[in-house]
Structure 1
Amino acid sequence: MYRFLFTPRWLGYLALAVAAAVVMVMLGNWQLSRYQERTAINNRIDRADSIAPVPLASALARPTRTGTAGDAPATDVEWTRITVTGRYDSANEILARSRTVDGQVGFEIVTPLVLSDGTAVLVDRGWIPPADGGALARPQVPPAPTGTVTVIGKIHFSESKAGALERRDGRLETRRIGLPTLAPELPYPVYGAYVLLTEQQPANDAAFSQIEPRHENSWQNGGYAVQWWLFAALALAGFVWLARREAQGPTTPDARLLAEEAEHYARVIAERG
């Protein structure tokens, strides 16, 4: 009844169905891995505020060369809560433009914090709205505290696609906080990640809005994984359905009539032959 499955045509159908199912399962597994990665990031974000901050040096590798950023940290270091003490270098402050908070476009102010060993970590002190005149109008930036400052914050990876830098009135402006692009503009070794400020002594200026970590949409990847696995099952189920339909033969009245007539003429021809 199912001997037709061993014909070249049906073996080709089977190979195509199996290949499609394998590819779909692999895509589902990749989406599952993305779901797990994003879930782990969200868990780190949620746990960060309940864990005591650790020294910066225990989380990030110390940079050694001026003009380059230090080594990027391991994936599981992102959003670690750290504490670090140093002095702000306001002369090399960086304005990150076109940054959105609560639907408003403004600037994030990134100020190098120079440590006692001569290295520096970039600290995102927060977001402020632009001046009157449009989203790119340079704001009045609250000055960074002078003297020794202790910062508590969360590690943020360097942003990709940093784009071009420009200087206006001696101050750096950028669209993205990309450390490999910013480090050559600074006169000291720079750590390979920057810090989102959450607490500071002396206190941060009230004009700043704190930058909150963004949770990843892990459930989207979970949904895609289930969809790909269902598609794989449907590919195999479709082959089985077609094979059963082929094995059962024509089922409609017209199809049965045609089959009976074909069988009759085949017998007549055989008898006359």
Structure 2
Amino acid sequence: MYRFLLTRQWVILTLLGLVLIPTMIKLGFWQLHRHESRVARNEEVAASLSAPTVPVGKLTSTRQGPADDDKFRTVTARGTYDEKHEVVVRHRTGSDGDTIGYFVVTPLIRKDGPPLLVNRGWIKADRDLTAFPSVPAAPKGEVTVKGRLMPDETTAASGIKDTKGLPDRQVMLINSKQQAKALGRPLLGGFIQLTATVPKPQGNQPELLPEPDHSGIGPHMAYAVQWWLFTGAVPVGWIILVRREAQERRRAATTPPSREPGEPTEPTESGEHNDTGHAADGAGAGREGAGQEGAAKASGESPAHAAEGRAAKEPEPVSE
């Protein structure tokens, strides 16, 4: 009854199911690992943001940037801005996540240590992307800045291609080693995302970057559950299809073939015909009798005399 499983169609369907099951299991665990990574990142960010504020020199140096655990740590630094070596970082989005603009990065010259790159915030892009945009002026004089410590951006970590040949003072990545070459002196590794300035600057300033999201966990756990539900649906669906196919084949084997209307049946072993055959014979005999009676009436003879006359006219068979 289940020999149909050896047909080409069912062999392909079965092999497809056997391939899908481990694939979907693996995809479910992949989403689970992404969920776990997101939860771990949220915990690290929350711990860094809640950690005590420290001077920037305690967490980074010119030889080595901040450790992974120190990312988003709140630090302070004191110095004066060097607008001459200020750069803008292209293709960065604002707080709405859609509007394209620039990050404004300005070196802070410190009296008690090497200079530090400060991401002063975001500005909207001008129509002319080949010229240096109009940037709000940095605060004059000595200031104390406070912000979140970040490691240097790289193509490997960010996925952003470090395009060459950009317009003057425009870059794709915030990288202290690259800016140290332009400044002509070593810089502290990494940079800070500005959150506050003392004294508070006057006039228009770049839009400060928002605090990183560390509360959402994303849809990864839901995706993992969905993949595993799909995994269970494959064998269940295969069994349902097999049973349905077997029932249809069993029903086709037990149902007699259908006949067209008016089709005569085969004679039985005793030589008798079915009702359809008898009805046909009776109809033929009736038509023959009616024809004889009509001929007799037309000639004025009785049907019996007409029949005898025909018999007399018919020649007798000649025996050999």
The answer to whether the superposition gives a TM-score over 0.5 is yes
| Aligned twin of 1:108 | 103
Letter in 1 for 2:146: I
| Aligned twin of 1:153 | 147
| Aligned twin of 2:84 | 91
Letter in 2 for 1:77: D
Tell me if the contact between 1:162 and 1:177 (Cα under 8 Å) persists in the aligned partners: no
CA gap 1:140/1:15 in 2 versus in 1, 3 angstroms = closer
Q: Which ranges of structure 2 fall in alignment gaps of 5 or more residues?
A: 258-320
Partner SS state of residue 152, structure 1: strand
Structure 1: distance between partners of 2:163 and 2:237: 49
Letter in 1 for 2:210: E
Query: Percent sequence identity over matched residues?
Result: 29
Relative contact order (C-alpha < 8 Å, sep 6+): which is higher?
Answer: 1
| Aligned twin of 1:212 | 210
Q: What TM-score does the superposition give when structure 2 sets the normalisation length?
A: 0.60
Cα distance per residue 1:41-81 (max 9 Å; x no partner): 44555566544323334444x232xxxxx44632x433222
Single out whichever of 196-205 and 38-47 deviates more from structure 2.
38-47
72, 76, 82: which one pairs with 2:75? 82
Letter in 2 for 1:23: T
The yes-or-no answer on 1:33 pairing with 2:33 is: yes
CA RMSD of aligned residues (A): 3.9
Structure 2: distance between partners of 1:55 and 1:165: 36
134, 139, 142: which one pairs with 1:139? 134
Tell me if the contact between 1:45 and 1:213 (Cα under 8 Å) persists in the aligned partners: no
| Aligned twin of 1:17 | 17
Bigger Rg, structure 1 or 2: 2
Shift of 1:210: 0.8
Higher strand share: 1
Tell me if the contact between 1:17 and 1:235 (Cα under 8 Å) persists in the aligned partners: yes
Shift of 1:109: 1.4
Structure 1: distance between partners of 2:220 and 2:132: 38
CA gap 1:78/1:240 in 2 versus in 1, 3 angstroms = farther
| Aligned twin of 1:123 | 118
Structure 2: distance between partners of 1:124 and 1:116: 19
Tell me if the contact between 1:113 and 1:123 (Cα under 8 Å) persists in the aligned partners: yes
Partner SS state of residue 234, structure 2: helix
| Aligned twin of 1:203 | 200
Tell me if the contact between 2:87 and 2:171 (Cα under 8 Å) persists in the aligned partners: yes
Structure 2: distance between partners of 1:95 and 1:186: 15
Report how many aligned residue pairs link the two structures. Answer: 245
Q: Which ranges of structure 1 fall in alignment gaps of 5 or more residues?
A: 65-69, 263-273
Letter in 1 for 2:55: P
